[in-house]
């Protein structure tokens, strides 16, 4: 089996749920405490053994490229002022991985965004991480999928159980749990109504995909919402018996959603040694007045 070296991270969406903040800046650059969301996602991939990151960007996403690039003037100023710690912080980001960028001319959907990465990925399996989904125990999220990929040799979707009233926000799998960590997916549907959902197991922003997915994506017609849906290509893999679901044992934040974004900031701040005591005391005092 081919080793997994590459990850695709699509960041070309418009982020309309986060307007006006996303009018002139990418939602993936919004910070959790002091680090942009996209950096947490990239670091998760690197910790899982990935060394090459393909970002699918679009109009107005230049700040993401700059974030992972050398910032010459800033570095020079920090060096002259003797701010070694800040300098290291800024420079370390550049050395996280090898970065490549491909452009999605129009945000025609997640399936289309992934297809844009075809030539950068080539004929090898790859991880796919959505640029706005963050997990709190970040080590274990992608790791669970990679383990399922190595156990089965099939494409993998990361899943979590969601409340029935939320199934219409996700791709939902029909996957009988069999006690293992990789359940055979027999069907997958995009944004079903609660009454039509085959289960409450939702696909949540992490995938390991075989390169054959590109052939299915290239043959797609627009699906739900007029977009090219990754779910429709995954449904073909499911019919071919080449798709499994791996449950992700970590808390997830969809940072493109305002409530989840706020929760993520609070929880990430409380994990920080430099903030936990003061911020925790502040929250306790605030909660008494609610
Ligand atoms: P979302 O649906 O969460 O992103 O896509 P969005 O379209 O930017 O969000 P809203 O609904 O308008 O607020 C999940 C991921 O797929 C990327 C997004 O950038 C996000 O990281 N995406 C989505 C693309 O790269 N291209 C697309 O055409 C659509």
Residue showing tokens 């490229």: 65
Average pLDDT over residues 207-221: 96
Residue 18 contacts residue 27 (beta carbons within 8 Å): yes
H/E element holding 43?
A: helix 37-47
Residue 288 placed within a domain: no
205 within 8 A of 129, measured Cβ to Cβ: yes
Residue 235 lies in a domain: yes
Per-residue model confidence (pLDDT) at position 173: 96
Distance CA 60, CA 64 (A): 9
Question: Which residue's CA is the closest to the ligand 1 atom numbered 14?
Answer: 130
Q: Residues 138-196: pLDDT tens digits? A: 667 899 999 999 999 999 999 999 999 999 999 999 977 777 889 999 999 999 999 99
- With respect to residue 287, please indicate whether it lies within any of the assigned structural domains: no
How high is the pLDDT of residue 272? Answer: 93
Ligand 1 centroid to Cα of residue 110, in Å, is 7
User: Do the domain assignments include residue 186?
Assistant: yes
Q: Give the pLDDT confidence score for residue 61 in this predicted structure.
A: 92
- Residue 157's alpha-carbon distances to 77, 174, 182, 253, 288, in angstroms, are 45, 12, 9, 17, 42
Give Cβ neighbours of residue 24 (< 8 Å, ≥ 6 apart).
Answer: 60
Q: Provide the pLDDT for residue 226.
A: 83
Output DSSP code: residue 225: G
Quote the CA–CA distance of 100 and 120 in Å, as a whole number: 8
Q: Record the pTM.
A: 0.94
Cis peptide before 20 (omega within 30 of 0): yes
In the DSSP assignment, the letter for residue 222 is P
Which has the higher per-residue pLDDT, 67 or 176? 67
Q: How far apart (Å, rounded) are the C-alpha atoms in residues 212 and 195? A: 32
Domain tally, the chain: 1
Pairing outcome for strands 252-254 and 133-135 = antiparallel
Q: Ligand 1 atom closest to Cα of 17?
A: 13
SS3 content of the chain, % helix, strand, coil (to 5): 40, 20, 35
pLDDT mean over 122-128:
96
Pocket lined around ligand 1, Cβ cut-off 6 Å: 10-17, 56, 104, 107-110, 112-113, 130-132, 256
Q: Residue 270 falls within a domain, yes or no?
A: no
**Would you state the pLDDT for residue 89?**
87
- Does residue 25 lie in a domain region? yes
The arithmetic mean of pLDDT across residues 96-117, rounded, is: 95
- pLDDT of residue 1 exceeding 70, the answer is no
Give the domain extent around 70: 6-256
Burial of 142 (0-12, 13-18, 19+ CB in 10 A): buried
Q: For residue 235, give the CATH number of its domain.
A: 3.90.550.10
pLDDT at 179: 79
Name the average pLDDT for the chain.
93
Q: How confident is the model at residue 112 (pLDDT cuts 50, 70, 90)?
A: very high
Nearest CA to ligand 1 atom 10: 15
pLDDT digit string, tens, across residues 234-270: 999 999 999 999 999 999 999 999 999 999 999 999 9
Contact 173, 198 (CB under 8 A): yes
Q: How confident is the model at residue 2 (pLDDT cuts 50, 70, 90)?
A: low
pLDDT of residue 100: 96
Q: Could you tell me if residue 211 is inside a domain?
A: yes
Percent of the chain with pLDDT over 70: 98
Ligand 1 centroid–CA 289 distance in Å is 37
Least confident window among 48-62, 86-100, 110-124: 86-100
**pLDDT recorded at residue 21:** 92
The answer to whether residue 262 is domain-embedded is: no
Q: Separation of 114 CA from ligand 1 center, angstroms?
A: 11
Nearest CA to ligand 1 atom 25: 12
Over range 272-289, report the average pLDDT: 95
């Amino acid at each position: 089996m081919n080793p997994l070296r590459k990850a695709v991270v699509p960041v070309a969406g418009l982020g309309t749920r986060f307007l006006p903040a996303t009018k002139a800046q990418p939602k993936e650059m919004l910070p959790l405490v002091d680090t942009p969301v996209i950096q947490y996602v990239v670091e998760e991939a690197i910790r899982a053994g990935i060394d090459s990151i393909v970002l699918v960007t679009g109009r107005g996403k230049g700040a993401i490229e700059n974030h992972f690039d050398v910032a010459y003037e800033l570095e020079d100023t920090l060096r002259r002022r003797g701010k070694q710690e800040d300098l290291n912080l800024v420079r370390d980001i550049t050395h996280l991985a090898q970065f490549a960028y491909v452009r999605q001319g129009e945000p025609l959907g997640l399936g289309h965004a992934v297809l844009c990465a075809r030539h950068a990925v080539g004929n090898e399996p790859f991880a796919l991480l959505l640029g706005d989904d963050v997990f709190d125990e970040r080590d274990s999220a992608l790791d669970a999928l990679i383990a399922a990929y190595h156990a089965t040799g099939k494409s993998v979707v990361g899943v979590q159980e969601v409340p029935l009233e939320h199934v219409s926000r996700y791709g939902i799998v029909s996957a009988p749990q069999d006690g293992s960590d990789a359940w055979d997916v027999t069907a997958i549907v995009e944004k079903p109504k609660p009454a039509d959902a085959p289960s409450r197991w939702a696909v949540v922003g992490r995938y390991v995909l075989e390169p054959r997915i590109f052939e299915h994506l290239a043959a797609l017609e627009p699906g739900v919402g007029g977009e090219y849906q990754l779910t429709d290509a995954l449904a073909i893999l499911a019919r071919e018996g080449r798709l499994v679901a791996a449950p992700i044992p970590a808390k997830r934040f969809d940072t493109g959603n305002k409530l989840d974004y706020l929760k993520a900031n609070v929880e990430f701040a409380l994990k920080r040694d430099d903030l936990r005591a003061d911020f925790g005391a502040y929250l306790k005092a605030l909660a008494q007045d609610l």
